Structure 1
Amino acid sequence: MKKILVIAALLAFSITTKAQDATKPESPKIYNPAADAKADITAAVKKAGSEHKNVLLQIGGNWCVWCLRFNNLVTTDAELSKYLTDNYVVQHVNWSPENKNEKVLAALGYPQRFGFPVFVILDGKGNRLHTQNSGYLEEGKGHSKAKVMEFLQGWSPAALDPKSYEEKTKAK
């Protein structure tokens, strides 16, 4: 009788655990291990060039909770999302055991040395402008909206345009 009760209890626990797993929202899959990162970056650069934007490469993987947290922040915060859309073409570049994109990351100066996520800013011609360690943008268990916005503004096309500084000088 005790064996039957133990088996029934284990079965009930197993069913409850499976039911709870089924109700958990699945993590978004923002990185594609099968993607051709080089081709995707080339397309992003072409688009950025034609739209007078820069490219923000977000390098990481679906396994990386910090990568998903960053993506959640910049896609759900209206101000950050608008700023990104207005100034950048965003491209997610996968790094995972299935595909480490070693050649692409080597060409970008080995940004993975900073951990994940790591951000690389390219101009509309494909020149690497900056590599950002995301640790400097963190606050608590996420990323600071203010620090992320400062980072994005500091590497936007307007911030790097000499004309914007010439106009300020003329105004004085």
Structure 2
Amino acid sequence: MKKLILLFVLFFGMQAVQSQELKWHTNVKEAISIGNKEHKPLMMFFTGSDWCGWCIRLQKEVLLTPEFAKWASDNVILVELDYPRRTPQAPEVKKQNDELQQAFGIQGFPTIYFANGTDADGKVNFEGLGNTGYVAGGPVAWLAVANQILKKK
């Protein structure tokens, strides 16, 4: 019985550690620079973190899983573009996120865009690879969709 409890604690502890290892960037120019150095596209997560039920569900079912953590660290640079209603946000982050919402034509949350970015002379440009949102079926189903998008790069 003690071994079973110990295994249970270790399993969930490892999941929490793996999920915490992911770095979600909030500065898109910084993320573009890292993506270009590592030759990885951006995964831009447009979310309403403190009010959007589907965004919260996507986080719990996919983005906080060990499967996603492994996949993300191997394949993409993570960018969180948040549109909170109750959580304060720095003015420069709010301005950047609003501009990106307009540029990508985001009308609903969650929306995830995969793109390669360039930052030349202070101008940011994106080459869109594709987009998705919530996909039922947990990490396996969501990652299958994401992998199809990334095959186009």
- TM-score interval, smaller chain: 0.5 to 0.7
Distance 1:73 1:85, change over 3 A: farther
Q: State the structure with bigger RCO (CA 8 A, min sep 6), 1 or 2.
A: 2
Query: Mapping of 1:20-59 within 5 angstroms?
Result: 40-59=27-46
Q: Number of paired residues?
A: 114
Asked if structure 1 preserves the Cα contact closer than 8 Å seen for 2:113 and 2:132, the reply is no
Aligned to 2:18: none
1:96 pairs with one of 72, 75, 84 = 84
1:90 & 1:41 partners in 2: Cα distance? Answer: 10
What is the deviation of 1:90? 0.7
Aligned to 1:117: 110
More strand per residue: 2
Aligned to 2:75: 87
What is the deviation of 1:153? 0.9
Query: Mapping of 1:1-172 within 5 angstroms?
Result: 40-62=27-49, 63-97=51-85, 99=94, 101-108=97-104, 110-111=105-106, 113=107, 115-125=108-118, 126-135=125-134, 137=135, 139=136, 144-156=138-150, 159-160=151-152
Distance 1:75 1:105, change over 3 A: closer
1:155 & 1:131 partners in 2: Cα distance? Answer: 6
Query: Percent identical across equivalent pairs?
Result: 19
What is the deviation of 1:144? 3.2
Q: Find the residue that maps to 1:53 and give its secondary structure.
A: coil
The TM-score with structure 1 as length reference comes to 0.56
Q: Structure 2: 5+ residue runs without aligned partners? A: 1-25, 89-93, 119-124
Taking only aligned residues, the RMSD between alpha carbons, in angstroms, comes to 2.6
